[in-house]
Amino acid sequence: MIDGFKILNLRSEANLHGNSNLFNNWETKISKDGEIKYHVQEFKSLVFINKPPPKNCTSLRGSLHKYYNKGIHNHDDFYFQQVCDTIDDLSKRFNLNLHKCHLNNLEFGVNLKLNDDVSKLLLSLISYRGSIFNEIREDNISYFQCRKSQYIVKIYNKGLQYQLKDNVLRFEVKVTRMQFLKSRGIPISTLHDLKNKKIITELGNLLVEIFSQIVFAPVDVDFSLMSKKEKILFFELSNPHYWRNNDTSAKAYKRKQRNKKKFIELQKSYSNEPFYHAAISYAIKEKWNSLFVQNLHHT
């Protein structure tokens, strides 16, 4: 559900630099000129950065999901009630004014168990709204992302990241400009807003919508039944570069929309699993909705 977040100006009713939960164990970063740049402290996957005057502010970034799991992992389900409890815990522990803690970044998504290897889906990725997916490698994780001006679409093998026995797909959206959510009619501004069930429901709808706009190559295709013309079209549309926004004219947009429909028809006609991606889209919606029902085994 809710995962990563960033607050550039944390509003606390007390002095965070001396907060007992941070053990007064701040690491000081010094500039080349010998001046204090900032103080940094980590606590259960959260990173606090305190900047001295003239800025005199504290920022906070990290994962609410990992924080709930004592900073260890975020590969299980994170229920809405747990999100609320986690935010309340932060408020109490660090004397935060939730109404004044304005979010600058926000990640939301789901961990979804698949019957098949996650790579089956990842290898069929092509593009999202005119941008191709790039594979990014960091430490022990490799993920695919598509960067837009105000948000990033990310999809990867969460099971591989944590060496799990299950095939766990992670699909998430990282909002880098909160204006994106406002433009979609989702009024998230502060930490307190993340406790609003109606708003979080709307986030889930947006997550499903974004997944449905991804262009995938059909999986397990029987080319022997295709005509020559269909094969040419298939390979043309399977090329990620075809979907780039090189031509932004209305005519080019309409042509791509028509070809996207043809691509889907090819999948229905010649794929042995014609509704594979649609089934995952439906599963994402079901997973998000299930996270509003607290599972007693996860309390």
CA separation for the pair 259, 198 (Å, rounded):
36
141 and 250 share one domain? no
Q: pLDDT tier at 297 (50, 70, 90 boundaries)?
A: very low
Q: pLDDT tier at 31 (50, 70, 90 boundaries)?
A: confident
Residue from 183, 189, 153 nearest 284 by CA: 153
198 and 264 share one domain? no
141 and 259 share one domain? no
120 and 229 share one domain? no
Mean pLDDT of 144-166: 95
CA separation for the pair 46, 65 (Å, rounded):
10
50 and 114 share one domain? yes
163 and 263 share one domain? no
Residue 299 has pLDDT above 50, yes or no: no
Q: pLDDT tier at 15 (50, 70, 90 boundaries)?
A: low
Is the separation of the CB atoms in 2 and 192 below 8 Å? no
246 and 191 share one domain? no
Is the separation of the CB atoms in 233 and 181 below 8 Å? no
pLDDT of res. 256: 87
- Please give the tally of structural domains in the chain: 2
What whole-number percentage of the chain has pLDDT above 90? 62
Residue 26 has pLDDT above 90, yes or no: no
More confident residue, 118 or 25: 118
184 and 82 share one domain? yes
Mean pLDDT of 193-197: 98
237 and 192 share one domain? no
pLDDT of res. 20: 67
Q: pLDDT tier at 264 (50, 70, 90 boundaries)?
A: confident
Q: pLDDT tier at 74 (50, 70, 90 boundaries)?
A: very high
Q: Poorest-confidence range of 11-20, 114-123, 275-284?
A: 11-20
Q: pLDDT tier at 24 (50, 70, 90 boundaries)?
A: low
Q: Specify whether the backbone of 273 is left (phi greater than 0), alpha (psi in -120 to 50) or beta.
A: beta
Q: Which two tokens stand for residue 151?
A: 């948000």
156 and 43 share one domain? yes
The four Cα atoms 199, 200, 202, 205 give a dihedral, to 10 degrees, of: 180
- Containing domain of residue 29, as a range? 2-215+277-298
260 and 288 share one domain? no
- What is the per-residue pLDDT across 85-101, written as a single tens digit (0 to 9) for each? 999 999 999 989 999 99
Residue 13 has pLDDT above 70, yes or no: no
20 and 100 share one domain? yes
Q: pLDDT tier at 158 (50, 70, 90 boundaries)?
A: very high
Mean pLDDT of 275-283: 92
